[in-house]
A and B are shown apart, each in its own frame.
Chain A
Amino acid sequence: MAKKQSSIDFNSASKRLNIINPNLLFGMQTTKWRRSIEKIDLLFLTLEALDVNTSQSFELIARDLEISHVFPNYVAIWKSRCHNPLRRSSSNSTLSIESFEGLIKILSSMSNQFYPRIRELLTSKGSIQYRSERWNKFCLRLEELITERMNVRRGLVKKYLIKTSNSDSFHKQLLLILALSSGPGGLKRLSSSIFEPLL
């Protein structure tokens, strides 16, 4: 039996949060959509790598952002993230556009909340010993999370793991994306770059 391809439901456009430019959604390709949800999930994993209890605050953030109708509880957020085809248990159902936008909004807000920690990891100033200690801890946690949640047999996941073990640039890119997604103009920057691939 043919497997149903996961996609975005454009019919729910009336309830949209209007974060994504409608012109970007027009003629949206499956590859583009898959790439964006993979990127969102990876950025969420990066946030989780910063703090063990990050996932607990997703629901509170959703409430603060007044998107409780989209994500009434933590499970709803987790279900939306499970649309990432690289996950061990990925969902093939359709993701609504408002959930997609909600995830971006949560991501930007969480980045803002965790900005001091992100900044600590990005800075080149201060004690080398302290910085390397924190950096190694973060890298180890991210690698653990990727191995734990993602399907390691997938080529792209293998590529991520090779990248993480070979150099720090991949981690730095993820952290820089999060840092620039924070602040007053962060949401706009994140939403306009969300369909772009991770290098």
Chain B
Amino acid sequence: MKTSRSYKEGIAVLEVDGIPDKSLGHGSDTIGILLSWKLTLIGLTVLEGKKEHLINLVYVILSYSRSCISGLPDSISDMANSIEISGVKGGHELKLVSNKRDVEPLTIILDDAELTDLTRCLDKILVDSYIAINWLVPLSKPATTRKFYKNSFHFNQIINAIAGISCICITAFLYLNLPSLRPPTAPGEEIIEKDTYSKDINK
């Protein structure tokens, strides 16, 4: 028996239809086989597709949200490059490429509020216990420190260190090249001390 479930968050409304997978022992309320889905972005567009498209959309959006929370919005796409999202001035550009030849790619610009609505809506389907689908959930690994400092080099940050090291080097150089403070020895003084005096004792 067909089951429908709906998730609403701000501008995003996701409706999924499916049937339980009896071979896996699902209950009558559970969706194990996804038949269709429809994502309505109110005021923007309506998206529909196959199960794989939804899985890819969830993966792309959640990965992008994870990079946004770090403050480094990367351009993220799925394996088939059918869904791509990247940061643009004043928002986030979601590009959807249809499998059909004659259909032009669809580009939607989402603002921060719309992106968070979509993320929260997709989060809801992920935690729903009545949906038994293997989602591609992005790994929640922390971003590497190198990523944060890659483009943030400023000469001012190292000027103090350079000045300090230069001071030490200059001081060391001057110290090593200073003339000795010891009074100069008279000519032949060392010979008297070491050789002549010892000869006198032997006499």
Contact = CB atoms under 8 A, between A and B. Distances in A.
Interface of A: 21, 24, 115, 118-119, 122-125, 172-173, 175-177, 179-186, 188-193, 195-199
Interface in B43-82: 43, 62, 65-66, 68-72
Given A183-B9, A193-B66, 14 more contacts: A24-B142, A119-B116, A122-B111, A123-B112, A124-B113, A176-B112, A180-B65, A180-B116, A182-B116, A184-B120, A184-B127, A192-B142, A196-B143, A199-B72
Nearest to B91: A124
Interface of B: 9-10, 43, 62, 65-66, 68-72, 90-91, 111-114, 116-117, 119-120, 123-124, 126-127, 140-143, 145, 148, 152
Contact of A181 (B62, B69, B114, B148): B69
Contact of A185 (B62, B71, B72): B62
Given A186-B123, A192-B142, A179 B62 contact: no
A123 B113 contact: yes
A173 B72 CA distance: 10
A156 B151 CA distance: 19
Contacts of B143: 193, 196
Contacts of A190: 69
Contacts of B72: 199
Interface of B is mostly: helix
Contacts of B10: 119
A170 to B, nearest CB: 10
A135 B127 CA distance: 33
Contact of A184 (B91, B126, B141): B126
B127 A189 contact: no
Interface of A is mostly: helix
Contacts of A192: 66, 140-142
Given A192-B141, A199-B148, A172 B123 contact: no
A188 B140 contact: yes
Given A123-B111, A196-B142, A196-B148, A185 B117 contact: no
B124 A197 contact: no
Given A186-B123, A192-B141, A176 B116 contact: yes
A183 B119 contact: yes
B142 A179 contact: no
A180 B9 CA distance: 13
B65 A124 contact: no
Contacts of B123: 183-186
Contact of B112 (A122, A185, A188): A122
Contact of B116 (A122, A124, A125): A122
A196 B142 CA distance: 7
Contacts of B120: 115, 182-184, 186
Given A184-B126, A197-B148, A199-B72, A189 B113 contact: no
A177 B160 CA distance: 33
B66 to A, nearest CB: 6
A72 to B, nearest CB: 30
